[in-house]
Amino acid sequence: MMTDDKRILVAADPYAVPLKDAVAAHLREAGFEVADLSERDGNTCPYYESAVAVCKALQDGKASRAILFCGTGMGMSIVANRFKGVTAAVVESVYAARMCRAINNANVLCLGQMIWGPDMAKAAVDVFLATRFTEGLEGISAFLHEACGKVEAIRP
């Protein structure tokens, strides 16, 4: 289901709230509508709960992309990739944020508070949101489309 690309879902566990808040403010300043699904009953949820809330919202068509934050980004990525239709990538460089979109058509970016400073995280988010699937890789576009379909079909 295609949704408004100006709506972004975010969530953080308690360890990554400062990075999430910095990126969310940056997104709002850029004109995005940011829906923060980090809390339940006034408390910030652990990664294994907040990632679930975001992925269910993605599956329900509430947005087409999301950004998840935890200590390293890895826990969020592990949880998110359990959901059909979600391709989450934990990245540790701006280049990887670009390529997870261009190569893997990732719809969830996972960032770690212990890895990223706010300015570089904002740059990674910007490139993640601006990059199209197969952008710059048009010569292997057919292969990438086929590969993503085959990966999505793997459900042991």
Which domains are assigned to the chain?
7-153 (3.40.1400.10)
Q: Kindly report the pTM of this predicted structure.
A: 0.94
Of 70, 100, 110, 148, the active-site residue reads 70
% pLDDT > 90, the chain: 87
Q: What is the mean pLDDT of the chain?
A: 94
- Report pLDDT digits (tens) over 53-108: 999 999 999 999 999 999 999 999 999 999 999 999 999 999 999 999 999 999 99
Q: Is the pLDDT of residue 3 over 50?
A: no
Told to judge if 70 belongs to the known catalytic residues of this protein, a careful annotator would answer yes
Q: Is the pLDDT of residue 110 over 80?
A: yes
Torsion angle, CA of 55/84/129/63, rounded to 10 degrees? Answer: -50
Cβ 147 vs Cβ 154: under 8 Å: no
